[in-house]
Structure formats: structure tokens, C-alpha cells
Structure 1
Amino acid sequence: MMKPTFYLAHYRKVDGDRHSVKTHSVETSLFSKKFAAKIELDLIGELLGLLHDLGKYSFKYQCYIKSAVGLLCPGDKKYVDPRSYKGKIDHSTAGAQWINEASRDAIKINKLTSEIVALCVVSHHSGLIDVFDIAGEDKFSARLNKDFTLTHYCEAQEKIDHSISDRINELIKSENKNNQLKKLIIRIHELFSGSIRSFSKALLARFLFSSLVDADRLSTADFENPEDARLRYLGNYPDWQELIDCFEQISFEIRNEVDQKRCEISSSCRQRASDKQGLYYLTVPTGGGKTFSSLRFALHHAKQHKLDRIIYVIPYTSIIDQNASEVAKIFDGISKEIVLEHHSNLVPEKDTYRNRILSENWDAPIVFTTSVQLLETFFGGGTRSVRRMHQLAKSVIIFDEIQTLPIKTVHMFNNAINFLTNLCSSTVVFCTATQPLLHGVDPVKGAVTYSDAMEIVEYPPLFDALKRVHVQDCLKKGGWTEKKLAERVKALLHDKGSVLVVINTKPSARRLYESCKDLSKNVFHLSTNMCPKHRKTILDQVIDCLDPSNPKPVICISTQLIEAGVDVDFGAVIRCLAGLDSIAQAAGRCNRNGRQEGLGIVQIVNLQNENLDRLPEIKTAQDVTLRIFDEYKKNPAGFDKDRIGYKAMKRFYKYYFYKRAHEMSYPVSRKKLGRDDNLLSLLSTNQQSVDEYKRQHGSPSLYMRQSFKTAGKYFRVIDAPTEAIIIPYDKDAESIIAKLSVKLSLKEERSLLKTAQQYSVNIFPYMMKKLREENALFQTYEESEIWYLHAQYYSKDFGVSLEPVSQMEFLNA
């Protein structure tokens, strides 16, 4: 009997082992089936895996892959130059054409299934493609109608293993498969209407795409590096009860009423954990112990509903390390790797090989990540971030400081949350002291649901019980000079022993620091012009001064970076006029633990020379706060005599969201896109593109119409066009710069750059231009595009400077 031909998918050079297209396809289908089963689409998941690499059976692809790995050598009859063929042999379209050809006369639901499957298959290397592009071109149909000789469709059908082709045909004809999707589509139609219905179908396609991409990458990586497979959990986590037992052993010392209320909040979270799945709100004043209380809810809720993981989403990398470390310590007795941290500023000792492997698809029982990573998972382009999307199903997802959600993403985010909670068996918790009215925005474009029953704790009484500060309106006509404000700081330092001043802009913070630096032995400055290692050093010194067992007079002048999640407790706070949410967050750093007799003091001031030209969102928020303060003066009782209480906060968000409603669909300008449009539209009805298609060709027959690739291209959580530069902050940083000054392997360079993040500062283009003019920036080597700063342009007091400062003193030398 003739031995069947071996069709190569991957080759392991270390031992010469070969991974066949058949084995890879089956492995991918099993993973994808498992992932898609989370939303009861396991048969579609299986079909995706079997179809995705069909073109690899072609003669042309086999010649290429064997030449690339050295199984064919120059001179061999079938040898081709792999460099000239790389990325040019289409191996992903054939599988899409198979289901498309089989579904040409199908009924509507089968046609929709075919479109989604084909879309995922053709996109699995590039990221989801545009169905209709901006010009109204039908890119999807063009891909499916590509010449069979170029996609190797007929050749692949002849060569594919019969057991796989039989299963593909069985799945294509399967009524069970079509009924699975039909059930989900009916649910989408029951829940949503208009453009949100189309947006939800786009999220469904993205979920299935996530299942396929992760499955494909797992099969490939685990063949190429078998050790990787042994590092993965693959969902086999410790039992939730085991984690709960560890958590419940924590004892909290009750020293005062604040501690008592924290315990009551935690108890409420425990009690509500047995409730049904859905969206919940944990509205607790700052310092109310949200992190551990929400985690307690999540652990018990995950056990109750047999969920897969807990994902804790934090807005800033500056606070994620602290929170994740505190939680990880709880479970150290079970494993050092219960908690997975995934963010850009991971410290080297935590940036282990296993951590990187698990971060690729959030394969851990408890994940701490940033809102940037989460939003990229929902809406980013390419294939890297989307791998993780399926892991959001059957999870508890906690959004800490939800008020920091970028305004431009509000409607897309709301629709994604509704998709998760209604269709993916997920529970979402919005945590904050300043709950934004995400349920109060335009429901036609996307709003989350809200009812009092969704509040985990009864929050209005908490604002009275946990009131630890009195907010004073110290605004004055013409504003405060730095000199006058320094005098106020001095007086508060004398009365309260410690003062935090939060300023909107870095130049203003620097000027005030210069005015205050001689007021005490311990005067500190914090801003993002300082590298993370420097900021941590300063913050540690501040915390040491605030130690209640040995307090020292201390002044800290900071930008907003200190407001969210940084656990400090000052005697008094001065906050430069900003949004009421920011004022409340700053107030949370005053008398945080209720140790003062009476209330702490928070004073709101306006600076005379503040320039907000580059920060229009702060100016808008200031205007709304001024309106609230004016209304408060006329009727303090209407705000329960609390300028930052829950009534004031609700009114603030009502006004603020009204002012910025036009930004909430993620607008993209004509200058970028060629027309004025928004990402919400591109990912739902894509009306302008469809209208252009209709003008040229008549009504389209496709059900899916989104511009996925274009939306992914323009989606940015943070728009600021900054560039990172490395700071020679200490001897370790100097060593990294020296090592990067010679050409290294890509792996070595990436590893060093990861470590260098602790010594990096992101600067704006105008700063980059100025520093280059000053000859203060150097490339590590020619054309590396890795820049480091001259030491004379970095101050131990305020970080990066655009003019020379005194020779840098290495703080940690």
C-alpha cells in the first residue's frame, strides 16, 4: 500500500520533528471548539480550525515551507527562494472558499454562518479584514472570488486527508451547527436593535476570530517549543474553594469607624456574590477598600456560577503592580502564579518566560491588566490582542476606577459590556467612588443597563459614614500665583503636618515645586516626566514620611498620576480646579484612614498662569465643576452640603456627558479617513461605505458589512503621539544603555527594552524636537531608533528638562 503524502505545516529545527497540516488542523479545531463552546458555538469553532490552513496542502506552499526550513536545498528540483515567496502564497482563502461554495444557495442563517466562518478564516494571519472598505469596495467578496488557481482551492480539496474533508462536509451540512448560531442571533435580535444589533454581530465574529487565532497560535507554539505546553494552565486552575479559603483567612484590624465600614462593604460583597450573573456597580468612597471587597465578590461569584477566571482591569500601570502584588501574596501558599500581571511596565523580576507565555491569552485564574490592554482586546487591529477576547467569556471582570474610561470609547465599550453580560456568561463590576453615568448616554448608540438592585452596596449612606474631608471652594478672581499658593501650603503644613498638592500641568507643578522646595526638609515632586523607577523611589520616600508611627512633615507636589489607586494619607490636600471626579479622587488621599480628629481639609484653587491649550478635556471638566460649585452656593442642602457627594457627582456627570456626547462614538476626521465618520459606525452598519457601494453596484447581498481592518487601524486608547526615551537614572540604566549600543539579536534587544521600561519616559513631539536641537538625545546605535537622554537634561527633582540642569545625581547609584 502506498504511503500517504506528508504535508508539512511546521518544522522543529532542534530535533527535526515535523508537524503535519493534518495534525495542526485537528489540534487547532479542538482548541477552537473548546473556546467557542463558551458561547455554545463549539461546532463552528471546530469548523474554523479544520478550514483555516487548507491552502497549505498545495504544491507551491509545500515547496516554499520545505525550502524555508532546509528540507529542500538550492539545486533541488522543487527548491524555491523562500525570501521571495514569504507571505506571498495564499494559504488562508481556500478554506473560506470551501464554505462559501457550499453555501451559495443556503438560507439566511446558513449564509450568515458561512460569512462569519469565511471572514475569520481569510483573516487569521492579518487581523479581521474590511468587508466593505471606506471607498465602498466589497473586499470580502473579492477575496472569496479570487481565482482558484491562486488560492489552490481545487488542489487542496484533492489532497486533504479524507477524514478531515468528511468532517468539514459534515459540519457544513450540520443543522446543529446552524441552530447554535441561530439561537445566538435570535437572542441578539431580542436584546438589541438598529446599529447596536450590527455591532453585536461584529463582536460575535470577533469572538469566533479570537477562538481561531488563539487555537492556531497554541498548536503552532506548542509544537515549536514543547516546553511551552508544560507552562500553560489551559484552564486547569486550582479550585475556587481553595482560593476562597486562602482569602477568607485574611484578618483586618478594626481601629476606627472607617475600618468598620470597610468590613461592612466587604460583607455586602460576600452576600451579593450568590446573586445571578450580569452587570453590577460597586460605588464606594475612596479609601473604602474596593480592591479586596470586589475580589471577595468575584471569588465567591466565580465559584457559585462555575466561571473560568477573574480579570481585574486597572487604568494606570503606575498602580497595577501594587494592587496585583497585594493580591498575589494572599495565594502564595497555593502557588506563586495564581495572579497573572499583564501590562507594559512589568518589573523584570515578574517578567518571567512563563508570565509572557500566559499573558499571550490570559491563561490564569486571576488576571491583572490595564484598561488599554482590555480595550485593545475588544477593538484593536491585527491578531495579537484579539487572541484574548474569548477569555472574557465565563469570567468576572472588575473595572477599577471606571470613571477613567476614555470618553471616545463610551458607546463601543457599553455595547461590548452588554455583549459579555448577555451572551457570554460573564459578570462585570464597575468600581469607583465617582460612578460615571454610562447608563445615561444615548441608548440608540449604546448604553449599559442600571437599576438600584445592581448596586452591590447601598452607597448613599456610605458617603455620609465615610466622609473624612471638608472640601473648601478657594477659587478667586484672577487665580492664585505660585508664590501665594506656596504660602497657603506652608500654613497647611504647620496645621496638618503633611500636604499634597495636585496640579493639572507639568510646568505649573514644576513652578510650584520651586516655590515650595525650601518650606521643609521633605518636599517632593511627582510627574510622568520622571521615569517609573524614579517615581517609585520618590513615592516610597513620601510614604515613609506619612508613616503614622513616625510621621515627618512632608509636602508632595504632583500631577494627576497620584489620584487613582495610590494609597497615601495626607493631612491636607490642595487640588487645582479640575473635573469633580478628579477632585474627589484627590480628596481620597486626605485623611484616607480616618485618623484625624474631625475632617481633613481639601482646598480647591485656580492657578493664574495655567495653560490648558493641550488639555481641552480638563478645561471642559473645569467648566462643569464651576457650574456645580455655583449651584452649590445657591442651594447647599440640595447637595447634602457635600461638594463631592454622590448627588454632586451625578449632576456633574449629567452635565459633563451632555457636553461631550458628540465624542462618544469615537469620531475619526476627514483628514485621517477621507471622510468624517466614527468607529462605532464602521463596526456596525458602516452606512457610508454601504451607500457608496449601492451607488456603484446596487444593494449588497452580504449580511456582514463592517470595516474591521480600518477601524482597527485607527483605534487608539491613548491618542498622544509620544515616544519613549531611556533615562540614565542609575548604574543599572547606564548598563542597559551600554548593552543596547551594539547590535543584538531581536530576542536580546526586546528583553533589554522590556527592562528599560522602568527607566523610560514618554515625551511629546515638541519635546523630542527641542531635545534634538539641544543635542541632548542619542541613538544607541545608528538607525536603531532607540533614544536615550543626556544626563544633564534630567533632574533628580522633576525629571526630563528641555534645558540643561546641574549634573545628574544618581539617586540609586
Structure 2
Amino acid sequence: MDDIYAHTKDGSGPESWQKLDEHLDKVAQMAATFASSFDAAEWGYLLGLLHDVGKYSINFQKRLTGEKQQHVDHKGMGARLLQDRASAFGRIGAYCVAGHHVGLPDYNGTDNGHSLEKTVRGAASFPEDRTNPLLGRDDPELPFPIHSPFQASFFTRMLFSTLVDADFLDTEAFMDGVRHSWRTPGPSLEVLTAALDAKLATFAASGRINELRAEILAACRAKASLAPGLFSLTVPTGGGKTLTSMAFALDHARLHGKRRVIYVIPYTSVIEQNARVFREIFPANSVVEHHSTFDASKVFDREDHARESAEARRHRLACENWDAPVVVTTSVQFFESLFSFKPSRCRKLHNLADSVIILDEAQMLPVDFMVPCLRALEELTENYGASVVLCTATQPALRKEDFACGLDGLGDDRELAPDPQRMHEAFKRTELVDLGELALAEVAEMVREREQVLCIVNTRKRAAELFELVRDEPGARHLSALMCPAHRSKRLEEIREMLAGGEPCRVISTQLIEAGVDVSFPEVVREMAGLDSITQAAGRCNREGELDGAAPVGVFTPVEGVARAFSGPAGHTGSVLRTPDVDPFSPEAIRHYFTLHYWLEKDRLDSKRILEHLNNDRGEWYFRKAGKAFRLIENTMVPVVIPYDERAEKLVRDLHYAEHPGGILRQLQQYTVQVYDGQFAALDQAGGIEWVADTYAVLCGMEFHDEMFGLTFPGEMRPEDFIG
């Protein structure tokens, strides 16, 4: 056959057919460009040339013309050519080509036949009338020394990212040129820096706290010229770390030729808040917000062209591969992508190279996945040109000298803030008071005795029980993740007004209020938990130093017992508090706490044995097993729309009849609650769920919604369903 094609689309003219040689060449060039960010351009180029050579087969061409209906494998031929090289290049490339549609395979196994060995074994031979793209070529050299199997498997994953993104983009350009034209670069980092400087210039410079914030900002920016790599940024609560870390990231990126800033946050509620802050500062097309509640690529219907703004279009497409100046995402999205086998999740990974990655609330790194997470961060900084900033008020002890599995190269000289101990003392606005063991009724009595107080407990269930004991008191309010964001925002606004007006304000909350919520109480009471959580709780007390002296943060151990998920961290906190002459909120105490936390939990640091799947020195890696095991949230959650107010009710009505619901779903984010599968099943069985357009779960039984509690559930729920 003289004319060999890669793709066809509707129509009969020549423009409806893309020649295979053209596709291979374009993918090769694009993958080479992507891989050049980690000095592997030749690797990317060759994989691009080989990924679709299986389409040279007569059977595949008949499949395109409709002469043959059944599926024709086209990935195996290129994988076989590579595997036959019997070299590191051959094995690494074979994984990438074999998985470029179905995902990175395991070396062998029975995962629906998706194994490298089976793919290669069943592949057709390369046609004799074609020139083997590898003929006469030597294997490309490794771009950097590889000292471990994990490094090699990580390199494979990064190459895979360049290939699948290039393949998708070229295919899209042919199949849907209009959609492809929407992918435009965002503003330069120079433009973003100027916008941030203009915003920072409007901040008040007077007052002790503002002067300290300005000192931290100036010190961080002065260190932007430091060599790329790992950094820590230890800023006390209220020290302005969000904009300070962004200012450092932009300066560092410009000075060292980095391409973008990735801002990683543990909590969805804080992501929405920070993304909003950044959008107010930066020009349009600067910020991509990507998390489970707001996955623009999933909520947009392709036909909804006319109603979508150019900025919304670009945002939706940039969520696919993070091709944007600033990306704000969750820890779940970030780390699970780093260990995923799926092409859709791996597409973005090559865009982490030559980026500045800010890990906000770094103390929240997942203990059960600590070792694989740290090894991935080391790889990004050592071999892919990334800089990583561990940003928090409670800096975890993640250095190699703190524990054996820690990060190498994170010494005191890599701290960006000026003298964390001095900053701690300067920002000191609270003191910890050990309240000992208390029954829930005694805690309720403490809350009743105080006019303005915040009481934080570990679980939704305990918060609900405690609130029932005080709900008749003036100013009693309850906060929980079972309230939709619009509901929580309304509550927080009420709380701020009561505090500012000197009115009674007694708030019972789960730990969600510790995550970047700007409120300031004269006193906080906290259930025993990890010292990092207690320190974050203290950040909601005397926040601006408005009280003379240190405000009390009382910590109690419930007679009823600490929930299992919190018992380990609570025990480590107890050990620190029993240490003589130690300030429990000091950097020294925090380091002591985390050292205990990691050492005493060392059997959990790779509890799913992720590294075992990726550490075989024969190149027999199990990407699918690793990806399926690497789940930061074990229990799946389901979004439920709460028709909380008239606006939400109207949006739900519109959703019933919308042909293209993307814009409506984006607005309904503010009315969505994530619930565990068991909770959802209970609501559904009780008739509390209505399925709109057979797809979207909406609460229809408002008897399962309480103005004080948010979403409620029928029957008895398991205690673990109330965590958080």
C-alpha cells in the first residue's frame, strides 16, 4: 500500500485522512521537545517514531477503511522492536510504547492481559517493505546516571508522559482543529511577577505583625537566587506564607529558567480559597485549578462551544496536561499522578520538570506513602530540574539526619524564612494549657462558661455530640465538611461578624477550620491530636496579636477515648508535652514530634509496598500494581449536590433540561458535599437522593439536611464515617 494512514475522520476528501509518516514525525518532534526539559530529547524522538508503527499492518489499514471491524493491536509491533534491542533503552521504551493507549503495563501478570511480555509475545513482525526507524541507530545515552531501579522506572514514567501527551495533542490537532486552537500559552512569569508586586505594594506596612510579614517576604525573595533543589519555608501561622511562597517561586523560576509554579495543597477547601486569591491577582489564563470537585475536563460537554468563554476553554484543556503558568492542585491529584499507570493522569508529568513545586502544609504528607513520596520528590529535584518548597508553620522532620528515609539535601542552609526560632518567638500569641482528661459534658460546660471560644474535635461524630450539648447557648455555631462550601461560607461570615462585634460566639468544629480559615478567637479548646494539628488550631487564636499577652489554647484528652485514626499522633504529642522546659509550639518541639511520628510509625512509611513494584533491577516493573495500590484516600467518595438556597435550586432545575451542563456544574461546586460510599448508600436507600439526568446525585429529602449540622444520615453510621 502506498498510502498508509494513522487516523481518519468524518468526510471523504484527502483532509479527512492523516498519513502515518506525518503523524509519527510530528509526535516524535513534540515528544523530543517535551523530553528536552530533562535532557532526553533523543529518547522522546525515537519513541515518537516507533509508537504507532503497528499501523503499517494491512489489517489496521483495513480497520480504518471499515473493511475489518474487530480491534487490531497496533502498539505491540513498536514494543517488540524495542524489546528486541535487549538494552536499557529497549526495555524502557518498550514499556512506553506498549502502554501508550491502555496505560503502563506490568512486566507480566494477568491484569486483563496488560503485560509487557504478553504484548510483545503477541505482536506482529515489522513489515519487510518498511524501513525500521531504529536501523543503524545506536541507543541514546542516559541523560543522567541512574543508580537504582526506582530511578529507572521513574525515568520510564516521565518518558511515557512525553509520548502520550505528544500523541494526544497531534491526534487532537488533526481530529479537532478548533479544539486544538484553544490551547494557547498563558502570560509569562514576568507578567505574573509584576502583578504580584503590584498587589504586595498595597499591603499595610505598619504594625508589628505586618512588619514581621514584610521581613519574611523580603528574606525569601532574597534567597530566590539559591541553586534549584529542595527548600523549606517555615512561617508561623498568620505570617503570610501563601503570597510569600508564590513570590519566591516566581522569582526563583525567572532567575533559573523554570517554566511554571505548581501549588499543592492537602485540602480542597483551601485550594478553592487560594486559587481565588491568585486569580484576583494574576491576569486571565494564568491559573489552573485542578482537583476532584473541579475537574474541568470532566464537567464540560464538547458541544457547549458557544456558551464557554475563551478563558474557560483554555482552563479546561490545561487541566489535562498542566500546561499553564500556575497550577493549583491537591496532594491527592499530585502524588497519585506521580505513581499512576494511566495515560490521562500521566500526561501532565513532563510539565513538572523545570517547575517550582510548593507543597503547602507539608506536614500533611501521607505517612503510609511517605517513602515513595519522598523518593519521587528527590527524583524531581535531582534529575528533572524541579525545585520543591516544603511550606508550613509546622515543619516536619523530613531531613536525612532526622530519620533514615528522609530527604537528602534539605539542610539548614535551604531554609527560606529568616531564623524560624526567632520568628516563632516574635509571632508568639498563644500558650498551651494541658486540661487533662475531660468528659464530653465537662468540655460542653467549658464552652458554655466562655463568651467567645472555638472548640475543635477530631471527628464529625464527636463534633455533633458536643454541639447538641451547647446548641441552645447564644452564638452557638457548628462547622463540618458535611456543610457545602456555600453553607460553610455563610457560617464563617456570621462567626466573623459576631467576633468583631463582641457578641457571644461559641463554635464547635472539626479540624477543617485549621486549614487556612482566617478567624481569630480569644480562646481555643482542642481535643488531643497531632502536635501539628494543635499548632494549626492555635493559629485561629489571637491571630493578629489583638490581645495583650498570650491567649490560652487548652488541650484535653476525652475520657471517652481518642478515635483510632488519631491515637498514634496524640500519643506522640503526649510524649513531647512531657518533655521538661519545652515550648510545645516551637520549631524544636515540632521537630521532636515528627521525629517520633516517623520513627515510631516506620513500618507504615510504605505500607502498600509501592517501591517493591518498581525496584526490580532486571527492569521487571509493575506499574499497574503500583498505581492501583497508591491511593491516598482508600474509601471512595461520591459528590452530592445540596439545594441549599434559591440559587442552588435554580441551578438544579436548569440541570434537568441542560443539553450541555458544564457551566451549571461549575457553579454547583459551591453546593456539593463529598460523602463516603456507605453514607451515600444510606441516603439513597432512604429516598434522599434524586438522580438528575440519570447522572448527578442531588439531595431531594431535605429532612436529611440541618441548618446547623449540614448533611445528616439515616440510621446508625460507623464511627469511621465521621472522621474529618
- Judge conservation of contact 1:414–1:448 (CA < 8 Å) in 2: no
The answer on whether the counterparts of 1:30 and 1:49 sit within 8 Å (CA) in structure 2 is yes
| Aligned ranges 1:503-514 → 2 under 5 Å | 503-514=457-468
Q: 1:13 to 1:798 in 2, by over 3 A?
A: farther
2:477 aligned residue: 524
Is 1:5 aligned to 2:3, yes or no? yes
Q: Aligned partners of 1:789, 1:442: CA distance in 2, in Å?
A: 52
Q: Distance in 1 between matches of 2:118 and 2:551?
A: 66
Displacement, 1:651?
1.3
The more displaced of 310-319 and 592-601 is 592-601
Aligned to 2:137: 173
Look up the match of 1:92.
Answer: 75
| Counterparts in 2 of 1:347 and 1:723: CA distance versus 1, 3 Å | closer
Q: CA deviation at 1:448?
A: 4.1
Q: Which residue of 2 aligns with 1:807?
A: none
> For residues 732 and 228 of structure 1, do their structure 2 counterparts lie closer, same or farther at Cα, with a shift above 3 Å needed?
same
Which residue number corresponds to residue 711 of structure 1?
A: 626
Rounded Cα–Cα distance in structure 1 between residues aligned with 2:403 and 2:72: 46
Q: Does 1:372 align with 2:332?
A: yes
Superposed, 1:793-808 pairs within 5 Å as 793-803=704-714
What does residue range 288-327 of structure 1 map to in structure 2 within 5 Å? 288-327=239-278
- Are the counterparts in 1 of residues 397 and 403 from structure 2 also a CA contact under 8 Å? no
Q: Cα–Cα, structure 1 residues 610 and 754, in superposed 2: closer, same or farther, change >3 Å?
A: farther
Change (3 A) 1:147 1:123: closer
* Residues 131/779 of structure 1: CA separation in 2 closer, same or farther (3 Å cut): same
Task: Check conservation: 2:535, 2:585, Cα contact below 8 A.
Answer: yes
Distance 1:363 1:139, change over 3 A: closer
Report whether the alignment pairs 1:541 with 2:503.
no
User: 3-state DSSP class of the match of 2:155?
Assistant: helix
- 1:556-584 C-alpha deviation (Å, 9 max, x unpaired): 22111111222222222111111111000
Residues 1:14 and 1:556: Cα distance change in structure 2 (over 3 Å) = farther
**1:277-306: per-residue Cα shift (whole Å, max 9, x none)?**
110000111111111111111111111111
Q: 1:679 and 2:610 equivalent?
A: yes
Match of 1:659 in 2: 600
CA shift in 2, pair 1:475/1:403, >3 Å = same
| Aligned counterpart for 2:550 among listed residues 584, 599, 620 | 599
Structure 2 residue 573 is matched with structure 1 residue 625: yes
CA RMSD after TM alignment: 2.8
In structure 2, what is the equivalent of residue 421 of structure 1?
A: 381
C-alpha contact (below 8 Å) 2:643/2:698 kept by paired residues:
no
Partner of 2:676: 764
What does residue 245 of structure 1 align with? 194
What is the CA-CA distance between 1:442 and the residue it aligns to? 9.3
1:481 to 440, 443, 460: 440
2:720 aligns to what?
none
Instruction: Note if contact 1:437-1:650 (Cα within 8 Å) is conserved in structure 2.
Output: yes
The answer to whether the Cα contact below 8 Å between 1:402 and 1:430 also exists between their aligned partners in 2 is yes
Question: What's the secondary structure of 1:254's corresponding residue?
Answer: coil
User: Are 1:472 and 2:433 an aligned pair?
Assistant: yes
Q: AA paired with 1:760?
A: T
Q: How does 1:383-782 map to 2 (within 5 A)?
A: 383-440=343-400, 447-457=407-417, 458-476=419-437, 479-482=438-441, 484-493=442-451, 498-520=452-474, 522-547=475-500, 550=501, 552-609=503-560, 612=563, 616-631=564-579, 635-636=580-581, 639=582, 642-667=583-608, 678-685=609-616, 703-738=618-653, 748=660, 755-780=667-692
Deviation, structure 1 residue 112: 0.2
Q: What does residue 670 of structure 1 align with?
A: none
Match of 2:47 in 1: 48
Is the contact between residue 527 and residue 559 of structure 1 (CA under 8 Å) also seen in structure 2? yes
**Letter of the 2:439 counterpart:** W
Q: Structure 2: which amino acid aligns with 1:461?
A: R
Alignment TM-score, normalising by the size of structure 2? 0.90
* Secondary structure at the counterpart of residue 507 of structure 2: strand
Distance in 2, Cα, partners of 1:14 & 1:525: 64
The percentage of counterpart residues that share the same residue type is 33
Task: Determine if contact 1:569/1:590 at 8 Å carries over to the other structure.
Answer: yes
Choose 715-724 or 347-356, whichever is displaced more. Answer: 347-356
1:792 aligned counterpart, secondary structure? helix
Residues 1:766 and 1:17: Cα distance change in structure 2 (over 3 Å): closer
SS at match of 1:329: helix
5+ unaligned residues in a row in structure 2: which ranges?
Answer: 297-307, 716-724
CA apart distance, 1:370:
1.1
User: Partner letter of residue 455 of structure 1?
Assistant: E
User: Scaled by the length of structure 1, what TM-score is found?
Assistant: 0.81
Determine if contact 1:408/1:664 at 8 Å carries over to the other structure: yes
Deviation at 1:447, TM superposition (A): 3.8
Name the SS of the counterpart of 1:178 in structure 2.
coil
Distance in 1 of aligned mates of 2:702 and 2:275? 33
Question: Take 1:446 and 1:204, find their aligned partners in 2: how far apart are those partners?
Answer: 21
Between 246-255 and 264-273, the greater mean CA deviation after superposition:
246-255
Q: Is the 8 A contact 2:689 2:697 kept in 1?
A: no
Q: Which amino acid aligns with 1:308?
A: R
Q: Encode CA deviations 1:254-313: one digit per residue, 9 max, x unaligned.
A: 342221111111011111001111100001111111111111111111111111111111
Q: Does the alignment pair 1:284 with 2:246?
A: no
Residue 211 of structure 2 corresponds to residue 260 of structure 1: yes
Matches within 5 A, 1:148-167: 148=124, 153-155=125-127, 158=129, 165=132
Q: Conserved in 2, the CA contact under 8 Å of 1:254 and 1:260?
A: yes
Instruction: Judge conservation of contact 1:133–1:710 (CA < 8 Å) in 2.
Output: no
Contact 2:3 2:19 in 1 (8 A): no
Q: Distance in 2 between matches of 1:376 and 1:733?
A: 32
Q: 3-state DSSP class of the match of 1:566?
A: coil
Aligned length: 699
CA apart distance, 1:436: 1.3
d(CA) in 2 for partners of 1:598, 1:446: 38
Greater Cα radius of gyration, structure 1 or 2: 1
The corresponding residue for 1:689 is none
2:496 aligned partner, one-letter code = I
2:293: which partner in 1?
345
Say which SS state the counterpart of residue 725 (structure 1) adopts.
strand
Measured after TM superposition, the shift of residue 48 of structure 1 is 1.0
Query: For structure 1, which segment, 466-475 or 236-245, has the greater mean C-alpha deviation from structure 2 after superposition?
Result: 236-245
Q: 1:443 to 1:420 in 2, by over 3 A?
A: farther
Return 726-735 or 19-28, whichever deviates more. 726-735
Contact 2:108 2:118 in 1 (8 A): no
1:526 touches 1:558 (CA, 8 Å); kept in 2?
Answer: yes
User: Is 1:480–1:605's contact at 8 Å kept on the other side of the alignment?
Assistant: no
